[in-house]
Amino acid sequence: MGLVVQKFGGTSVADPERIREVADHVARTRRRGDQVVVVVSAMGKETDELLHLASQVSKTRPGREMDMLITAGERKATALLCMALHDLGVPADSFTGSQAGFITDTNHMNAKIVEVRAERVREAVDAGRVPVVGGAQGVSSNRDVTFLGRGGSDTTAVALAEALDGVCELYTDVSGVFTTDPRVVPVARRINRISFDEMLEMCAAGCPKPAMRAVEFARTHRVPLHVRSAFTWEPGTWIIEEEPDMEQAIVSGVIGDASEAKITLAGVPDQPGVAAKVFRALASAGVNVDMIVQNVSEAGITDISFTVPSEDLPTSVAITEGLASDIGANGVTSDASIAKVSLVGAGMKSHPGVAATVFETLAANDINIEMISTSAIRISCVVAGEQCDRAVTVLHSAFGLDDLTR
């Protein structure tokens, strides 16, 4: 008998029927002899709807009130799931993040967990009950309700598994982590086992599942993570520490990410301190810059291009334009419709020719590369936004990842 934390994402609890199915899944796990702790997300698209509602009511949207509003979605789901569990004869208690002992910092909309005091949840488990905890929430050191940010329920589940010394299962609407988004490339394969390092690199490249912070937490605290389908009992993807015999695929996954935009600062004098000024100003405004490319200078003049999250584009353009004349640049242009296509694989480290194959494949399909960046186990190319899905599809196929039995 073990303890398992089962987290169900928004689609898994999207409507009353699915909530009853999740209750059935929990009841069966319990019959198998395991102790179960459940974490739930808000139903369906409720988080998006609450965010939209706030934007219709207010321009300022104070963080404290936003967190109170958004966490209500998860809270609703906990109570409904407990009711469905009671109907199946499973004793269950709902808990807010605060009741479950999630102490966070005071950073509204993106709070970090400081400590998990899981005694109440532990007592419920010991009493033979199923605690159902609202994901992505806690209480700050100022005693205000806090939201852990988008995808924060995955982090709640991992942190609870660590506090209770259990295994963490993340249930979602696909049966694990795939070689690429199975909704874009239907012949994508499920990855059975992947190392934390590769998974983190896939998350950083834009893979939405599991949430990156959850994977980081799991790696630091050595919590085994299992991503699987809420609708079937088939095994999913295990994210684990790298074992000595673990096969190092040359390419494990191909990820398309259309969530960034590109800014180019043209005609910049090639002298010390220019890049420092620009990127310090962006950092001070809280903008997370991703790729940066600077050209070789001609007659002491160069261009700098970089990518930022699309939602930060207006702020970033304003900051860069504000600095342009100060640093003697010619002007600023931006492109909101770009996509980043990345290949991730630990085997790349020891396998030459991966970059060449990427460039040849894109060229053969008439896809122009606007920027390139690499890490030891990743190659990313920026392409035009409308070519993203095609670029992912042809690269997936070129690296032999297509599941030909489908």
Nearer to ligand ASP among residue 151 and residue 345 (C-beta): 151
Q: Is 403 helix (H, G, I), strand (E, B) or coil?
A: coil
Other beta carbons within 10 Å of 12: 24
Q: Which amino acid is at 173?
A: D
* Region near ligand ASP per CB under 6 A, out of 39-47, 227-235, 348-356, 370-378: 39-47
How crowded is the C-beta side of 391, counted as CA atoms within 13 Å?
Answer: 29
Interface with ligand ADP includes 69 (CB under 6 A)?
no
DSSP state of 90: -
Q: Is 60 helix (H, G, I), strand (E, B) or coil?
A: coil
Nearer Cβ to Mg ion (161/391): 161
136 near ligand ASP (CB under 6 A): yes
Task: Report the nearest approach of ligand ADP to the CB of residue 170 (Å).
Answer: 7
Residue 210, preceding peptide bond in cis (omega within 30° of 0): yes
Q: Provide the minimum distance between the beta carbon of 168 and ligand ADP in the complex, in angstroms, as a whole number.
A: 13
Of 13, 177, 240, 338, the one binding ligand ADP by CB under 6 A? 177
Nearest approach in angstroms of CB 272 to ligand ASP is: 42
**Contact pick of 150, 216, 374, 375 for ligand ASP (by CB under 6 A):** 150
3-state class percentages of the chain: helix first, strand second, coil last, to nearest 5: 40, 25, 35
36 to 55: interface string for ligand ADP, x by CB under 6 A? -----x--------------
Residue 42 touches ligand ASP, criterion: CB under 6 A: yes
Using the structure block, give the residue that is written with the tokens 């609703």: 76
The answer to whether the CB of 368 falls within 8 A of the CB of 384 is: yes
DSSP structure class, residue 151 = T
Q: Which of residues 1-20 bind Mg ion (CB under 5 A)?
A: 9
Please state, in angstroms and rounded to a whole number, the distance separating the CA atoms of residues 104 and 23.
29
Under a CB-based contact definition with an 8 Å cutoff, are residues 61 and 41 in contact? no
136 binds, among ligand ASP, Mg ion, ligand ADP, none (CB under 5 to 8 A by kind): ligand ASP
For ligand ADP, which stretch binds (CB under 6 A), given 31-39, 64-72, 166-174, 218-226? 166-174
- Burial class for 292, CB neighbours closer than 10 Å (0-12, 13-18, 19+): middle
| Residue 174 contacts ligand ADP per CB under 6 A | yes
Shortest Å distance, C-beta 399 to ligand ASP: 31
Q: Give the span between the Cα atoms of 224 and 402, in whole angstroms.
A: 27
Considering CB distances under 5 to 8 angstroms, the limit depending on partner class, which of Mg ion, ligand ASP, ligand ADP, none binds residue 131?
A: none
Q: Does 253 bind ligand ASP (CB under 6 A)?
A: no
Q: What is the DSSP string of 246-307?
A: ----S--EEEEE--EEEEEEEEEE--TTHHHHHHHHHHHTT-----EEEPPPBTTEEEEEEE
Helix pair 16-31, 63-87: axis angle to 10 deg: 60
Cα–Cα dist 152/150, whole Å: 5
Q: Is residue 181 close enough to count as binding ligand ADP by CB under 6 A?
A: yes
CB 161 within 8 A of CB 167: yes
Stretch that binds ligand ASP, among 40-48, 86-94, 95-103, 301-309 (CB under 6 A): 40-48
* Stated length of the chain: 406
Minimum CB separation of residue 70 from ligand ASP in Å reads 7
Does position 86 interact with ligand ASP (CB under 6 A)? The reply is no
- The least distance separating ligand ASP from the CB of residue 210, rounded to whole angstroms, comes to 10
| Residue 47 near ligand ASP by CB under 6 A | yes
Q: Which residues bind ligand ASP (CB under 6 A)?
A: 10, 41-42, 47, 73, 135-136, 150-154
Q: Which residues bind ligand ADP (CB under 6 A)?
A: 9-11, 41, 172-174, 177-178, 180-181, 183, 207-209, 253
Q: Which residues bind Mg ion (CB under 5 A)?
A: 9
